[in-house]
């Protein structure tokens, strides 16, 4: 649902404390779903009835209040919440709390078809899918088995970082479109003016290094592959498919970076961030680049084979 801006948040290995402890489950598909499939969810809001306690997380989802576009609101504790969501979305759904980590079956879902993948990324049937070879094989294997990483309702990684500079760059490249930060729902928005140099996308240069805040530390890992969601309408933001097309054309479907928390603590609005580059040797970096090229070729071949197989099954 629509994101919420907060000025202070605890962070740990699962990302922001109490982030995404509820999700909508599509009963027909028997899988967790989101605004990627049900765009109307982005016109709804969700807020905690009370500040979430320390134990909030997998298996412990505090009460939330869901707001609909007509101004009405319903609690997650109300037995009618499922019917209200189903009526609004015109689809049979339920509101589900984040399952315990050991309940892995609740994180599973149906394998995506070729059409599903094209819809997910906002692409027409004939357009090529994004190159996912930047993802570690272990992560790709996890996401092939589960709708979301076990223990979380995030897409792939617990942290998503984007800079104001990147949003301004994309706005300049896409006349008539508004790259409002709300479209991209980052964990943190960074003003990198003092460190960005000439880079139009400074966060991409941080991958492999560490961002140190006074009370926590994050490790940016790899570019964020964008789905169709940023193009959907939100309150005060119109539907704009050009958003997705511009990202595909100018940044190879990526905007912002995924990351993890390597020092738990607290993030506060206005905190200074100190970037420390990776200390990998040139030899290691060169070897890594060679391995990535091999992996990318394998991934492209695998993606082509999977897509062709799915198309054959559909015919």
> Which tens digit of pLDDT belongs to each residue from 198-227?
589 999 999 999 999 999 999 999 999 998
pLDDT tens for the 315 residues of the chain, in order: 988 899 999 999 999 999 999 999 999 988 888 888 899 999 999 999 999 999 999 999 999 999 999 999 999 999 999 999 999 999 999 999 999 999 888 888 766 666 777 776 777 777 777 777 788 888 888 877 888 888 999 989 999 999 999 999 999 999 999 999 999 999 999 999 866 455 899 999 999 999 999 999 999 999 999 989 999 999 999 999 999 999 999 999 999 999 999 999 999 999 999 999 987 644 444 444 444 443 343 334 333 333 333 333 332
Beta-strand (E) ranges in the chain? 8-12, 15-16, 22-26, 31-33, 45-48, 64-67, 73-75, 93-97, 159-163, 188-190, 210-213, 216-225, 254-263, 265-268, 274-276
pTM, rounded to two decimals: 0.81
User: Is residue 108 packed enough to be buried (19+ CB in 10 Å), middle (13-18) or exposed (0-12)?
Assistant: middle
| Nearest alpha carbon to residue 167 among 201, 138, 141 | 201
Under the phi-then-psi rule, with left for phi > 0, alpha for psi from -120 to 50, and beta for the rest, what region is 173?
A: alpha
């Amino acid at each position: 649902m629509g994101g919420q801006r907060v000025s202070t948040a605890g962070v740990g290995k699962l990302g922001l404390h109490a982030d995404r402890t509820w999700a909508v489950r599509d009963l027909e598909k028997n899988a967790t779903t989101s605004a990627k499939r049900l765009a109307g969810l982005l016109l709804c809001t969700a807020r905690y009835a009370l500040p979430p306690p320390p134990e909030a997380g997998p298996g412990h989802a505090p009460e939330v209040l869901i707001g609909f576009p007509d101004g009405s609101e319903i609690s997650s504790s109300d037995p009618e919440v499922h019917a209200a969501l189903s009526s609004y979305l015109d689809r049979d759904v339920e509101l589900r709390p984040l399952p315990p980590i050991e309940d892995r079956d609740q994180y599973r879902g149906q394998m995506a078809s070729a059409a599903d993948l094209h819809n997910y990324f906002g692409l027409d049937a004939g357009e090529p899918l994004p190159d996912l070879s930047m993802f570690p094989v272990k992560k790709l294997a996890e996401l092939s088995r589960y709708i979301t990483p076990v223990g979380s309702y995030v897409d792939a990684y617990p942290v998503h970082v984007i800079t104001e500079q990147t949003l301004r760059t994309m706005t300049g490249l896409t006349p008539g479109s508004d790259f409002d930060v709300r479209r991209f729902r980052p964990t943190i928005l960074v003003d990198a003016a003092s460190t960005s140099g000439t880079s139009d996308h400074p966060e991409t240069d941080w991958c492999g290094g560490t961002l140190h805040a006074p009370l926590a530390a994050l490790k940016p890992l790899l570019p964020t592959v964008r789905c169709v969601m940023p193009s959907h309408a939100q309150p005060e933001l119109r539907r704009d498919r050009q958003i997705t097309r511009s990202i595909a054309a100018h940044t190879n479907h990526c905007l912002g970076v995924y990351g993890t928390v390597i020092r738990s603590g607290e993030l506060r609005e206005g905190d200074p961030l100190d970037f420390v580059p990776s200390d990998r040797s040139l030899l290691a970096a060169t070897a890594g680049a060679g391995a990535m090229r091999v992996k990318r070729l394998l991934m492209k071949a695998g993606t082509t084979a999977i897509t062709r197989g799915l198309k054959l099954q559909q015919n």
